[in-house]
Structure formats: C-alpha cells, structure tokens
Amino acid sequence: MTSRAGGVYDLVVAGGGPVGLVAAIEARRRGMSVVVVEPRPTPVDKACGEGLMPSAVARLRELGVDPPGRPFVGIRYVGRDREVAAWFRAGPGLGVRRTTLHSALSHAADLAGVCREVGRVAGVQDDGATVTVTSGALRSRWLVAADGLHSSVRRELGLEAPTAVTRPRYGLRRHFAVAPWSDHVEVHWSATVEGYVTPVAEDLVGVAVLGPAGTSYEHALAGLPALAARLRGAEPVTAVRGAGPLRQTASAVRRGRVLLVGDAAGYVDALTGEGLATGFAAARAAVEAIAAGRPESYPAQWARGTRRHRALTTALLGLTARPALRAGLVPAGAAFPRVFARVVDLLA
C-alpha cells in the first residue's frame, strides 16, 4: 500500500487493464503514490488478438513481468492461393491469453505497492493543482486515463473527435483446443474479413476475425477455407467475444492534468497487432513526462511514438478497403518478400 500526502495521491489511473497497470507500475518505480480505479474484478477478458510484439515483450520484462505463453517468430499472410512470411529480427513475440497477461500484471502491480479502488472514474474536476475524481472521493496531482476504446474519461472531457469512417470495423475472437500448427501469427485474407491465428499455449490457439458491422464469426471462418480446414474437428473452448467499432479518435491526448494513454488516446485498427506495444510505450511516456515535471511534452512524445504505427495501419486500411487492391495484397507480398519483411520489422 502506497502512502499519499495530505490525502492526495500523486497519480490516479482510470482503468486497470494491461496498459493502466503498466502505467501504475512505471509510476511506482519512480516513487509515486498510485491508485488504479477499475470496476471489474481481475482478470478481465476481452476480444483481442493476444499476440505481443517483441517490443511489448521487452517492455514487460523490464518491469519484471514474464507471463507464460507461446513464442512466435514472425507474421505470415495467407491468401487463397499464395502466402508470404517474415521473421522478426528483434527476437520472438509472445502469444499469451489476455487473462494470463492481466493476472501477471496485476500481481506485479500488487508487489509494486499500487493501491486499488473498485469503481469508475467520473466527475473529473481539474483545479490546476489537483484532479478530483469519482464524485470527490479521490484527489490526485495527475490522472492517466487508460479506460479503453470507449473511454468515459475522454468523453467526459469533451476529447471525443468524430471519425470519417464510413464502414466501421469490428473484432470477434474465440479459442480452439488444438496444437498450434505454425510458429508465426497467421493472417488469413478473404474478400471482406481477416482471420488472425495466435498460438497462446501448446494446445490452444486464439482466432480473431476482423470485418464490417454484422460480420458473423461462423460465416467469416467459412470464407477462410485454409483456416477452416485447420480448425476442422477442433473444439471451441471459449465463447465468441466482440469489440468495436475499432476506429476511435481523440481531439487531444492531454488536457490540463489529465493524460490519455492506450486505446483511450485513439485507435486506428487491429490490422497490424501493435495495440499493446504502443499502449505500453505511451504509458511510460506519460509517466516520464509527469515525473520530469514536463507534462506538456507528452502529446509530442505520443505523436512520435505512435506515428509509424498510425501511418502504416491507416495506409493498409486504405488498401484493404478497395476490393481489387485487397485481392492483390498477399500476391504483392509474395512477389516482394523483402518489402513485406521490412514492414513487419517496422511494426515489431
């Protein structure tokens, strides 16, 4: 349990998911008093790809967090008649169940002395010196909002920005009891959806599909014949979970003493699998800016740290929105494997 001077914490973190817990642990490592406010019991499951890129694995290990999972060495794109694979030069990524990752980070936060409050951050009042939240029950010098894709803090502060997406995308995920058949994360492509296969244990794979509103998990798999063949006879062991719409935009990532991190700061799409990696990096950048007494530097740090991910994901989304270009994506990767490998390395 961390102490707080005069009833005021150094930092309140809204949201106790992986990114929020990383922010809390980073703050404790810098000697701050921290409380995480989260309404749900740990661990929380949600629809996600469950693949940690090498940079995310490295960040966790710096924090002493090494959850059990199954390493993967790169990314493979699979089309109807062609495929292309690339290997990470930075070392392996890690497929890990969301609940396993959340439990490991929760344990690390407890060891670090992070306080917990059950509830939801609301009623944010910034007087220029402190932030009061949750109907006056908590006061802190700073608030980091890590409360996800549909951030209530972002909405309350008026930082929601309209998106120009005409065809919003959604994600669906479930697990199958089958031994992983590849040491890559596979991305299977059809005319309208992608299927992401992540090995998460020696006898378990997570299969996520991304597609437009109304996408049916069963119909999506039926349209991915190579993936459907791999899963034939495999027992589904979790229910289908959904998330979306995926595209979310914030007009700013800082307002006064409130800093937005992770999906709360905006989200493009799950196409490139960097969500947790960029979220962890933003959590560290926010805490470092606060600790250095330079919170005004955080928006520029956030922009620099996410620029490559946002640009590549936006470009890829633009390509996949056009049927002819979408159909040619895997053949182009197979024709130019070095370019594909370079893109994968940029994302790792």
pLDDT, tens digit (0-9, with 9 covering 90-100), for 72-95: 999 999 998 999 999 999 999 999
pLDDT band of 192, cuts 50, 70, 90: very high
Question: Is the separation of the CB atoms in 226 and 190 below 8 Å?
Answer: no
pLDDT at 254: 98
Average pLDDT over residues 172-184: 97
Q: Which residues contact 116 (CB under 8 A, 6 or more apart)?
A: 16, 35, 36, 37, 38
- Residue 284 domain flag: yes
Cα 64 from Cα 110, distance rounded (Å): 13
Instruction: State the DSSP string of 270-318.
Output: STT--HHHHHHHHHHHHHHHHHTT-GGGHHHHHHHHHHHHHHHHHHHHH
What tens digit of pLDDT does each residue of 272-298 get? Answer: 888 899 999 999 999 999 999 999 999
**Does residue 12 surpass a pLDDT of 90?**
yes
Average pLDDT over residues 257-265: 97
Cα 340 from Cα 347, distance rounded (Å): 11
Tokens read off for 120: 């939801």
**Does residue 234 surpass a pLDDT of 50?**
yes
- Residue 184 domain flag: no
- Residue 9 three-state SS: strand
- Residue 119 domain flag: yes
247 HSE (CA, 13 A, CB side): 16
**Percentage of the chain with pLDDT > 90?**
84
What tens digit of pLDDT does each residue of 289-324 get? Answer: 999 999 999 999 999 999 998 998 888 888 888 888
Average pLDDT over residues 242-262: 95
> How would you classify residue 15: left for phi > 0, otherwise alpha for psi between -120 and 50, otherwise beta?
left
Average pLDDT over residues 3-7: 63
pLDDT at 318: 87
Give the amino acid at 132.
T
Average pLDDT over residues 128-147: 92
Q: Which domain holds residue 85?
A: 9-164+245-347
Instruction: State the DSSP string of 81-149.
Output: S-EEEEE-SS--EEE--HHHHHHHHHHHHHHHT-EEEES---S-EE-SS-EEETTTTEEEEEEEE---T
- Residue 238 domain flag: no
Q: Which residue is it, tokens 């349209």? A: 223
When divided into structural domains, the chain yields a total of 1
Average pLDDT over residues 257-262: 98
Question: Is the separation of the CB atoms in 121 and 146 below 8 Å?
Answer: no
pLDDT at 347: 84
- Residue 317 domain flag: yes
Average pLDDT over residues 211-224: 94
Average pLDDT over residues 132-156: 93
Instruction: Give the number of other Cβ atoms within 10 Å of residue 118's Cβ.
Output: 10
pLDDT at 2: 53
- Residue 2 domain flag: no
**Percentage of the chain with pLDDT > 70?**
98
Question: Is the separation of the CB atoms in 50 and 200 below 8 Å?
Answer: yes
pLDDT at 3: 52
Give the closest residue to 66 by CA, choosing from 43, 100, 24: 100
Instruction: Give the number of other Cβ atoms within 10 Å of residue 303's Cβ.
Output: 11
Question: Is the separation of the CB atoms in 220 and 195 below 8 Å?
Answer: yes
Is-cis flag, bond preceding 168, omega within 30?
no
pLDDT band of 1, cuts 50, 70, 90: very low
- Residue 278 domain flag: yes
Average pLDDT over residues 156-181: 91
Question: Is the separation of the CB atoms in 134 and 37 below 8 Å?
Answer: yes
Task: Write the CATH number for 56.
Answer: 3.50.50.60
pLDDT band of 6, cuts 50, 70, 90: low
pLDDT band of 109, cuts 50, 70, 90: very high
Average pLDDT over residues 108-116: 97
Between 3 and 236, residue with greater pLDDT? 236
Cα 76 from Cα 186, distance rounded (Å): 5
- Residue 204 domain flag: no
Question: Is the separation of the CB atoms in 264 and 147 below 8 Å?
Answer: yes
Tokens read off for 307: 């620029």
pLDDT at 135: 67
Q: At what angle do helices 275-291 and 54-62 cross, to 10 degrees?
A: 40
